[in-house]
Amino acid sequence: MEAYAKRSNEELKALQEELRQKYEQIKAEGMKLDMSRGKPSKAQLDLSDGMLNSLKDNRDCIDENGLDCRNYGEMEGTPEARRLMGDMMGVPADNVIVLGNASLTIMFDNVARAFTHGICGNAPWDFNSKVRFLCPVPGYDRHFSITEYFGVEMINIPMLPTGPDMDMVEYYVNNDTTVKGMWCVPKYSNPQGITYSRETVDRFARLKPAASDFRIFWDNAYVIHSLYEPDERDYLPEIFTECAKYGNEDMVYEFCSTSKVSYAGAGISAIAASKRNLEDIKGHMKYQTISHDKINQLRHVKFFGNFDGMLEHMKKHAELLRPKFKLVDDVLTRELGGTGTGSWINPRGGYFVSFEANEGCAKEIVQMAKEAGLILTPAGSAFPYHVDPLDTNIRIAPSLPEIEDLEKALNVFTTCVKLVSIGKILSERE
């Protein structure tokens, strides 16, 4: 297919009119589909329904330590749940605390505690005239919302095929005492699906932070969310092992959850950290709670059995997700390939497809799609302060719709991409 930029004005105007008629027809059909978040489909949620009956009676509520999990106690989580989540992250159970359903809550709490009480004896961040965070972009909007909420100054770090631009990371972390943290989704990143390379992880581990209370917020949300079999999965080096080689084990907080493994909003989450960091966290957490929901922790352990059982469960998720991701790539290739209207990454795991429109087009594409009944994540959301400097990035979340609805949505999306792109070319020529 010939690139639109190489076509004459007459050809583009004729195509534009054809696409406008198609767009109006789509609007008249009254489609309503919300693809703004990466939610699991009903079929994915159904995979975990056996968990609802994994605890039969009160005899199933006793953990390995003999504790009745219907009662208070074990603020760090049940031993079997700590082991399961540790295996998920690839760290020893002793380095894990299992909490409630949302890893996002743990991240928020850690930032909040850093502002009010400091980290490991350091001065509270609130005492600093400026606190800065490094933010790989495009990235996870809810990460950026946390630091924006606390008034943190966020610095964009471009994502490369190997992960964040480590030259920039090293420059800021090693030289600027106001840089206190960095957000990371290291495997199948949100939204691009990029996995950090071995060299990138090694460079993280070798950082020499100017601020003694600098912490990497290593959100390993998609650590087991591969779309393919083991020989095709991305490999991510385990960050704690790498950091320990250089005496930097205190530099990382790692997070994970089962929100898209079992039930979204009703899973379990965990933080992994060094002994020193965990003692610091527990010292604050004891004022916040006596214990988290250990019944839910037991429910998950009994349902999965162990980490191998969790991996087998994730294969079922992959079987449901794989056709949807393939459809996205197939339709984008068929409708947009060669037109010069955008590019995208076909990820090997995670929950999103990241689309890069032509400069200055993303907001208009998303708005046109909305008017046709397709709700996408607002353009700019993958950047701090919701500002995409080039207005190019659009996040596609294919997991929730049925395959037939997804195809209709992609038809809407590609029509909008074409219309906006042609309009921009013509306006620039005029």
Q: Where are the domains positioned within the chain?
A: 4-44+312-429, 62-304
Residue 147 to residue 133: CA distance in whole angstroms: 8
Pair of tokens at residue 305: 């059995």
Tell me if 394 sits within 8 A of 365, measured CB to CB: yes
Pair of tokens at residue 134: 């490094």
Pair of tokens at residue 139: 């990235």
CB count within 10 Å of CB 30 equals 8
Residue 137 to residue 32: CA distance in whole angstroms: 30
Q: Which amino acid is at 267?
A: G
pLDDT at 232: 80
Tell me if 388 sits within 8 A of 378, measured CB to CB: no
Among 427, 419, 423, smallest CA distance to 19 is for 419
CB-based burial, 143-164: b 16+ in 10 Å, e otherwise: bbebbbeeebebbbbebeebbb
Matching CATH number, 62-304, of 3.40.640.10, 3.50.50.60, 2.30.38.10, 3.30.450.40: 3.40.640.10
Cα 326 from chain centre: 20
pLDDT at 210: 98
Residue 56 to residue 58: CA distance in whole angstroms: 7
Token pair 């964009």: residue: 156
CB-based burial, 339-357: b 16+ in 10 Å, e otherwise: bbbbebbebbbbbbbbbbb
pLDDT at 28: 95
pLDDT at 430: 83
Q: Which amino acid is at 68?
A: D
Q: According to CATH, what is the number of the domain 4-44+312-429?
A: 3.90.1150.10
Q: 4-44+312-429 and 62-304 share one CATH topology? A: no
pTM for this structure?
0.96
Handedness of CA 398, 402, 407, 409 (dihedral sign): negative
Q: Mean pLDDT per 10-residue run, the chain (430 residues)?
A: 91 97 95 94 97 94 96 96 98 97 96 98 96 98 98 98 98 98 98 98 98 98 91 89 95 97 96 97 95 96 97 96 98 97 96 97 98 97 98 98 97 98 94
Pair of tokens at residue 356: 């890069």
Pair of tokens at residue 313: 């469960």
Indicate the SS3 state at residue 391: coil
Percent helix, strand, coil in the chain, to 5, is 45, 15, 40
User: What long-range pairs does 125-130 form, CB within 8 A, spacing at least 24?
Assistant: 125/180, 125/213, 128/178, 128/180, 130/178
pLDDT at 262: 97
